[in-house]
Amino acid sequence: MAVVAAAAGWLLRLRAAGAEGHWRRLPGAGLARGFLHPAATVEDAAQRRQVAHFTFQPDPEPREYALETQSPLPRNFEMGQTQKMNLFQSVTSALDNSLAKDPTAVIFGEDVAFGGVFRCTVGLRDKYGKDRVFNTPLCEQGIVGFGIGIAVTGATAIAEIQFADYIFPAFDQIVNEAAKYRYRSGDLFNCGSLTIRSPWGCVGHGALYHSQSPEAFFAHCPGIKVVIPRSPFQAKGLLLSCIEDKNPCIFFEPKILYRAAAEEVPIEPYNIPLSQAEVIQEGSDVTLVAWGTQVHVIREVASMAKEKLGVSCEVIDLRTIIPWDVDTICKSVIKTGRLLISHEAPLTGGFASEISSTVQEECFLNLEAPISRVCGYDTPFPHIFEPFYIPDKWKCYDALRKMINY
Amino acid sequence: MAVAIAAARVWRLNRGLSQAALLLLRQPGARGLARSHPPRQQQQFSSLDDKPQFPGASAEFIDKLEFIQPNVISGIPIYRVMDRQGQIINPSEDPHLPKEKVLKLYKSMTLLNTMDRILYESQRQGRISFYMTNYGEEGTHVGSAAALDNTDLVFGQYREAGVLMYRDYPLELFMAQCYGNISDLGKGRQMPVHYGCKERHFVTISSPLATQIPQAVGAAYAAKRANANRVVICYFGEGAASEGDAHAGFNFAATLECPIIFFCRNNGYAISTPTSEQYRGDGIARGPGYGIMSIRVDGNDVFAVYNATKEARRRAVAENQPFLIEAMTYRIGHHSTSDDSSAYRSVDEVNYWDKQDHPISRLRHYLLSQGWWDEEQEKAWRKQSRRKVMEAFEQAERKPKPNPNLLFSDVYQEMPAQLRKQQESLARHLQTYGEHYPLDHFDK
C-alpha cells in the first residue's frame, strides 16, 4: 500500500511558490522563468485549494442519551463534565475509556503506537503499555485475522485499518470469517469483541485511494455491523457501543471531520445505541437521509429548501448502515411522502439503493414522487475533479426541487 | 532435550549472526565447502564508521557479488525416532511414553481410520453429502495432540479430526455434524467435517484456507497477555501455506512474540496440485525467513511428532515465541469425496505409503515389540471399534434434523428486526407450501 507516501503527503504541503523559487535558482533557468509566474494574489491562492463542500454543525444542545442495556443506571443521564474535542480527540477519548475499564482491550494496526497518522491513538501507548497499544506489520488481512483471534478468546480487540480504501485485503477475513463465526459454529465460538475502525470518505484531495466510502460492500454481509458517525459527540458514543457490542463491528470515521468538527463531548464514557437512526430535524414535506459528513450537507440543503422553496425537510442521520433502522425511515416517509438519500459512494449498488428498495416496498402508496438518490458518480474517486464528483448541496437541492415539483 | 539442541544447531538464530551468514553456513552447494564466517581480514581496515548502520538488517558488508543459492536438494533434515518398521533408532529419543498413552495413540488412530471408512462409504451411498478422510495423516494428529495440554487452543484446517478423536470427542458428535442432525452442536449449518468443540478447545473449522493462521496468532497473543500458560496450535496443509494469510500469520507471530505452534501437514498434494507446483523453496519449514524456530519431522512417526510438539510447546510458552513444525506425510486418500485422485497420481505411489510407511503400522510394530499388543487384541479391537462406529452411525441416521428456525439464529447475538420478519415470512410460506419441503425430516 502507498501508506508511507500517503502519510508523507498528508504531512507535507508543497507550495507552488516554493517550487518556482527552486526553478529560479537553477542556472540557465531563464526559459523557465518566462513560463512560471510567482504566486499571485490571495484570491488566486484561495481558488487553488477548494473550499469544503459542507459546514460542520454541532447539534444545538447536548443530548441526553438513554442507555439501552439492562443496566441499573437511570434511563437518561447527565452529560457530566465535557471538553471541547474534535473528531479524532473524541475517538481517543472513547479508546481511553475502553482501555481503562476493560483490561483485556488492546488497540493495534499500522502506526498506532506513535499516535496514528490521524492522531487518534495519541498518548494511549504511554498510558496503557506497549502490550496494549502496538504496531503490527503492514498487512490488513493479518490485522483483521489477528483481531478475530484475539476476540475468539474473549478479549476485546480494536483494530485500525489506516484508510478504508485499504480494507479490501481484509475482506475475506471480515466477510467469510468474522461475520460468520457465530453462525457457523452454532454459537460455540464468536468474535463479537472485535471492532475495526477506519478513516472514511472524501477529504478534498484524497483521490482514488484516500477517499472511499466502502460501506455498501459490507452492507451485503449479514453478521457484522457497520456504523458511521457525523460528529465528535456521536463518534464517541457510537464507537463505545461498537466496542461493547457482542458482534464484530466496523466503525468508519469521516476523516474530513477529524479536525473540522469540534464540539463539547463528555469526558466520561456513554453509549449511543446502534441500529437507531436519528431524526435531527423534524419536517413535513421531504425526508432527507444521509450518514457521516453528508449529514451536514443535507442539513444545509434543508435550510436552503426552507428559505428558497418554503419546503419543510425532515433530516435523518442513519448512523448504522447494517442492521439499519427501517422503521424510523419508513415512519418519516409515511409522513412526508418524499425521500432523498445522499452518499459520496458511487450510485450503482450504493447503500441508497437498499434504502430506496425497502422504502418503496413498505411505503409505496405513501410516495408522492420517485425516491431520489444523490450520490457519487459510477467512477473511481477522482483527484482534481472532486468538486464535480461529490454530491454537494447544489445537486441535492436540485434533486429536492425536482421531487417537490414532480 | 536432544531435539532442541539438534534443532538449535541447525537453526541458530542468535542476534550476532546475520541472515546471510546463516544461509552461507548451510550451503555447501556449487561453491564448495561452506564458508564459516564473513571475511575477517577486512575488519582491520575498517573503522567504526565503516560498519553498516542500516536499521533494516544486522549484517556485515561484503565486497564480493554473490547471490545466495537456495538449497532444495539437501534441504532441512527430517527428524524421526522410529524407522519404517517401528523400531526406535536412537534410544535417547524414545519419549518412553507409558503403555496407556501409547495405546490411546494407537486406538485414536485406528478408531479414526474406521470412522473414515464408514463415513466415506456413507457419502458414496448418498447418506451424507460430503466427507474428507484422514488416511495416512493420523500420526500428525495424535502425535501432536498428545503433546499438548487439553486446554491448549486448536485452530485446524479440515484434516485434523484425529486431534478431536484424541481429545475424546464422541463418535456421536462427529456423526451428528456430518449428518447435520439435531445433536449437532453446530446446528446443522456447515458441510460435513467442519467440526468444532468449545469444551475441547477446538475452534470450529471453516472452509476458506489459511484464514485460521492469523486468527491463531491473535489468540496466542491474548493467551500471552492473560498469562494463561497456554499455547495455541495452528494446523494447515502445505497448499494453504501459499495463501497470503499464512505469510501474514507467520510475520505477526514473530514480530508480536506469540506463544504459537504452526503445524504444517505436508502431505504431498493440494487436491491435485503436487508440491512441485506449490512451492520452489525447501518446503514449508520456511520459518527462519520470518525469524521463527523451525523443524521438519517425519509426520508418519508418532513419536517424532510428539517429541517435536512437546518441546515446541514448552519453549513457546516459556519464551513467548512461535515455532514451526513441518510434518512430512502423505495423503493416502482422495482429497475428498468429490475427488478421484487416480486422475493425477499412480495407484502404485499410493500403495507404497499405505503398505510401507503408515503411521498406524509403525506404531503397531512398536506396540508389538513392547509386548503391549498382539494379534488377538488387534482382532478384538477392530471388531469393537467397527461396532462402536456402526452404532453411532445408525443412531445419527435416525435422528431428525434441527428445526428450520435455526436457519435464522446466531447471525448476530440478538436477532435483528428485519431478520425476524424474514423468519416469520418463511413460517407463513411453509404453512401454505409446506408439502413441497422435507419437513418430515426436521424437528418440529
| Confidence at residue B73, expressed as pLDDT on a 0 to 100 scale | 84
Distance from CA of B204 to the nearest CA of A (A): 6
B248 and A139 within 8 Å at the Cβ level: the answer is: yes
What is the model's pTM?
0.89
DSSP B190: S
Of A58-67, A150-159, B328-337, the least confident: A58-67
Smallest Cα distance from B416 to chain A, Å: 7
Rounded-to-10 torsion of CA B189, B193, B195, B200: 160
C-alpha cell at A258: 477529524
Report the residue of chain B nearest A174, measured CA to CA.
B211
Nearest-CB residue to A223 (from B244, B409, B411) = B411
Q: Is the pLDDT of residue B85 over 70?
A: yes
CB-CB neighbors (< 8 A) of A145 in chain B:
211, 213-215, 217-218, 245, 248-249
Instruction: Give the Å distances, CA to CA, from A326 to A229, A237, A322, A366, B428.
Output: 18, 21, 10, 15, 22
> Which residues in chain A are closer than 8 Å to B417, comparing Cβ atoms?
323, 326-327
Instruction: Chain B: give the shortest CA distance to residue A244, in Å.
Output: 12
pLDDT of res. A32: 46
Q: Do B256 and A136 make contact, defined as CB atoms within 8 angstroms?
A: yes
Q: Are B194 and A184 in contact (CB under 8 A)?
A: yes
Find the CB nearest A150 among B221, B413, B419. Answer: B221
Shortest Cα–Cα distance, B253 to chain A (Å): 9
A2 band by pLDDT with thresholds 50, 70 and 90: low
pLDDT for residue B18 is more than 60: no
pLDDT at B210 > cutoff 90: yes
Question: pLDDT, tens digit, for every residue of B286-307?
Answer: 999 999 999 999 999 999 999 9
Percent pLDDT > 90 in chain A is: 82
Q: Catalytic amino acids of A? A: 140, 210
Closest CA in chain B for residue A184: B189
The stretch B155-171 carries a mean pLDDT of: 98
Of A137-151, B39-53, B197-211, least confident by mean pLDDT is B39-53
Q: Indicate if the pLDDT at residue A147 is higher than 70.
A: yes
Mutate to test the interface with B, among A173, A184, A220 (most CBs of B within 10 A): A184
Which of B198, B200, B234, B412 to mutate to test binding with chain A, by most A CBs within 10 Å of its CB?
B412
pLDDT value at A131 more than 70: yes
Domains of chain B: 91-336+351-398 (3.40.50.970), 404-436 (no CATH)
Cβ pair A327:B187 closer than 8 A: no
ipTM at complex level: 0.89
Stronger pLDDT, A72 or A404, i.e. the higher one = A404
Instruction: State the pLDDT at residue A25.
Output: 46
Q: Is the pLDDT of residue A217 over 70?
A: yes
Q: How far apart, in whole angstroms, are the C-alpha atoms of residue B394 and residue A2?
A: 58
Residue of A nearest to B254 (CA): A137
Nearest CA in chain A to B188: A186
d(CA A360, CA A329): 11
- Residues near A94 by beta carbon (within 8 Å), at least 6 away in sequence: A235, A236, A239, A240, A243, A269
Question: What pLDDT, on a 0 to 100 scale, did the predictor assign at position A77?
Answer: 52
Under 8 Å CB pairs connecting chains A and B tally to: 158
| Residue contact B226–A155, C-beta within 8 A | yes
Distance CA B394, CA B218 (A): 40
State pLDDT tens for residues B255-273. Answer: 999 999 999 999 999 999 9
A32-83: pLDDT as tens digits = 444 555 555 555 554 556 679 999 999 876 554 433 333 333 334 567 899 9
Catalytic pick among B183, B336, B341, B385: B336
Q: How far apart are CA B235 and CA B228, in angstroms?
A: 21
Q: Measured between beta carbons, which residues in chain B are less than 8 angstroms from residue A247?
A: 412-413
Q: What confidence tens digit (pLDDT) does each residue in B376-414 have?
A: 999 999 999 999 999 999 999 999 999 999 999 999 999
Q: What is the pLDDT of residues B225-240, one digit of tens each?
A: 999 999 999 999 999 9
Residue B339: pLDDT over 70: yes
pLDDT of residue A51: 78
> In this structure, how many other beta carbons lie within 10 angstroms of the beta carbon of residue A240?
21
d(CA A92, CA A75): 26
Task: List Cβ neighbours of B428 (8 Å cut-off, separation of 6 or more).
Answer: none
Give the span between the Cα atoms of A388 and A114, in whole angstroms.
36
Question: CA-to-CA distance for A389 and A376, rounded, in angstroms?
Answer: 6
- In this structure, the strands spanning B260-266 and B269-270 are unpaired
Q: pLDDT-based confidence at A14, cuts 50/70/90?
A: very low
User: Which of B257, B410, B420 is the best mutation test for A, with the most CBs of A within 10 A?
Assistant: B410
- What does the alpha-carbon distance between residue B136 and residue B114 come to, in Å, rounded to a whole number? 13
Least confident of A33-42, A343-352, B310-319, B327-336: A33-42
Give φ, ψ of A395 to 5 degrees.
-70, -40
Spatial distance between the Cα atoms of B24 and B34, rounded to a whole number of angstroms = 6
For A242, left (φ over 0), alpha (ψ -120 to 50), or beta?
alpha
* Range with lowest mean pLDDT among A129-138, A177-186, B38-47: B38-47
Cα–Cα dist B412/A322, whole Å: 11
Which of B201, B207, B215, B247 to probe by mutation at the A interface, max A CB count within 10 Å? B215
What is the sign, positive or negative, of the torsion defined by CA atoms of B55, B60, B66, B68?
negative
Q: Is residue A11 over pLDDT 60?
A: no
pLDDT at A59: 86
Tell me if A104 and B221 make a contact (CB, 8 A cut-off).
Answer: no
Q: Is the pLDDT of residue A193 over 80?
A: yes
Q: B198 and A189: CB-CB below 8 Å?
A: yes
Query: Which chain A residues contact residue B208 at CB under 8 A?
Result: 172, 176-177
**Whether the predicted pLDDT of A237 surpasses 90:** yes
User: Mean pLDDT over all residues of chain B?
Assistant: 92
At B91-132, the pLDDT tens digits run: 999 999 999 999 999 999 999 999 999 999 999 999 999 999
Residue A399 grid coordinates: 434533486
